[in-house]
Structure 1
Amino acid sequence: MTTAFVSHQDCGLHNMGPEHPESPVRLHAIRRVLERTGLLEQLTQMEAMPATAEQIKLAHADLHQTRLEMKLPTEGVVYTDEDTALCPDSLHAANLAAGGAVIATEAVLNGTVQNAFVAVRPPGHHAEYKTAMGFCFYNNVAIAACRALQHEGIERVAILDFDVHHCNGTVDIFQNRPEVLVCSTFQHPYYPERYTEIERPNIINCPLEAFSPPSDWRSAIEQRWLPALHAHKPDMIFISAGFDAHKEDPMADLNLEEEDYRWVTEKIMEVADSLCGGRIVSILEGGYNPIALAFSVLAHIEALSTE
């Protein structure tokens, strides 16, 4: 199994301050664990390139990028909401994050690799069609999914989100696009409390109470996600890979461990092998305990790269 690892050192330039949980340390921790275990050298390493304005507009309003650029400071930080700040290099990093997702998508579609993990920041799944929020400026997975749908032979895609927070931005962008299936497990009630009650055949929301056992999370995936995937028959699968449902993560109150992330990755791979030739692009979202994040990503990539 050929797995790409897509990243860029400049994703570390986005810095919202020393106390902010969405910090450059996250990517450093992931790379360090992958290097020390020897897994990184087994992967096809690719460098992200910035997304174009046209690619960003595939998932966002025409003026979304321009509005963010107008807020970009020359020094210090400027908050776009109470959780999300721009520093001078933030949009450079955000363009690389979205572009890395696109590059991974192209690599999988042209057969260079079987699947890919995109280790980038800032994350994306809270970014709505015309709104940046929740640490997110551009919706990386939505941009990549839209790009995939431009390819001949890609008529339906699925986005699977196991971040502890609901993927409000992804739902906002795709709620009226039946060719895109969006499945999400998330703690509820909890941030962002938007679009969690929406009912569409292509939107599978799976709320979980705080302190739910991992068995509840696994049951939601088996009973809700897997039947929806087999009914939808995607030509490609995208993963919004948030690891903040880990029991050691400070941001929420679910109780997953590394082996849960390995399990869900294996389940997704089984579906992908059955329905879409194994085509998977996984894109980093949350995860704010650097050690738990790094070892969860390790388990996730080990599963992705297993023959």
Structure 2
Amino acid sequence: MDAVIQGLERAGLLARCQLISPRPATDRELLRCHTPQYLQRVQEDILAGRDQLSTGDTAISTHSERTARLAAGGVLAAVESVMEGRVRQAFAVVRPPGHHASATRGMGFCLYNNVAIAARHLQAVYGLARILIVDWDVHHGNGTQDIFWRDPSVLFFSSHQHPFYPGSGTRREQGEGPGVGFTCNCPLPAGTTGHQLLAAWRQQLVPLAEAFSPEFVLISAGFDSRGGDPLGDFQLEDGDFVALTQLMLDIAATSAQGRLVSVLEGGYALEGLASASAAHVATLLGLGATAPDATRASPHG
């Protein structure tokens, strides 16, 4: 988070953003995606003084549950600001990330699934019928996929390195029951470049989004897909995030009245994380390649 904010400041972008204060997500909001048993497990693990969540590879400490509620609530504050017209788009700079957290399990550094909780909030509070979630993290968003596996109201598209952690995300995984066809995975090999990724998006994502006609667009924005990240082997450059962001803005403009919120997921090479985030935010601000180093709104907490 510090690296992202500092990157935005260095690029002269933070001053152009309206900052949105986070708030803790409530039990009711978390329970739209997670089971009561899982929420209890998180509390019990923290009270027991564990340094790892018992359900998966996620470090925890005394303040982890409070911080995770602020991360989820920060994303909710972002979508509320967009829905209520206070900002046009938003970038939620939050930690911990969320896309590996399923209804019953935290893993991969994730406690609560921030982007999934935001999608359910948009449906429950604002009555939206169709939400598009696009995940460009280098790792598959298995938790998000699981939560919406049988749900035709959320189109989930993930491009990711495969085979790789967490091992899911094959093309055969397309949803179940009424949700068949509303999960679309785009697994790509190590070494994938931004040009190759963008070509795959245009071939697969664009026609799906046109047919689905989303009313709101959410991005799981993992910048570990940038070249040089220690936890990924994709080779995206900052300019590729400009192109990907612009494509998402075009999709949002077509059917969602421009409404878009991106949510920070992975990104572990701090300089690369800062510059890629700056490129993303500059594009959301309409600056594009003129300010390739770090949106219209940038909530953080």
Q: What is the TM-score with the length of structure 2 in the denominator?
A: 0.90
Partner of 2:124: 150
Alignment of 1:29-178 (within 5 A): 29-73=3-47, 77-80=51-54, 83-178=57-152
| Cα distance between partner residues in 2 of 1:284 and 1:110 | 22
Q: Which amino acid aligns with 2:198?
A: R
**How far is 1:137 from its partner?**
0.5
Q: Which amino acid aligns with 2:110?
A: C
**Identity of paired residues, percent?**
40
| Cα distance between partner residues in 2 of 1:79 and 1:278 | 38
Matched, 1:225 2:205: yes
Partner of 1:190: 164
Matched, 1:212 2:192: yes
Distance 1:131 1:76, change over 3 A: closer
**How far is 1:296 from its partner?**
0.4
| Cα distance between partner residues in 2 of 1:150 and 1:110 | 15
**How far is 1:153 from its partner?**
4.8
| Cα distance between partner residues in 1 of 2:163 and 2:30 | 30
Partner of 1:299: 279
**How far is 1:108 from its partner?**
0.7
Q: How many residues align?
A: 281
Q: Which amino acid aligns with 2:173?
A: I
Larger displacement relative to structure 2 (112-121 or 148-157): 148-157
**How far is 1:214 from its partner?**
2.4
Kindly report the root-mean-square deviation, in angstroms, between the aligned alpha carbons of the 2 structures. Answer: 1.4
Partner of 1:252: 232
**How far is 1:77 from its partner?**
2.0
| Cα distance between partner residues in 2 of 1:62 and 1:296 | 37
Would the aligned equivalents of 1:245 and 1:255 in 2 still touch at CA under 8 Å? yes
Would the aligned equivalents of 1:73 and 1:86 in 2 still touch at CA under 8 Å? no
| Cα distance between partner residues in 2 of 1:79 and 1:145 | 25
**Partner-residue secondary structure (3-state), 1:274:** helix
Matched, 1:288 2:268: yes
**How far is 1:151 from its partner?**
3.6
Would the aligned equivalents of 1:160 and 1:182 in 2 still touch at CA under 8 Å? yes
**Partner-residue secondary structure (3-state), 1:44:** coil
| Cα distance between partner residues in 2 of 1:37 and 1:195 | 35
Query: Any gaps of 5 or more consecutive residues in structure 2?
Result: 175-179, 288-301
Partner of 1:4: none
Would the aligned equivalents of 1:73 and 1:87 in 2 still touch at CA under 8 Å? no
**How far is 1:195 from its partner?**
4.8
Matched, 1:267 2:242: no
| Cα distance between partner residues in 2 of 1:81 and 1:74 | 14
Q: What is the TM-score with the length of structure 1 in the denominator?
A: 0.88
| Cα distance between partner residues in 2 of 1:142 and 1:129 | 10
Distance 1:77 1:263, change over 3 A: same
**Partner-residue secondary structure (3-state), 2:225:** coil
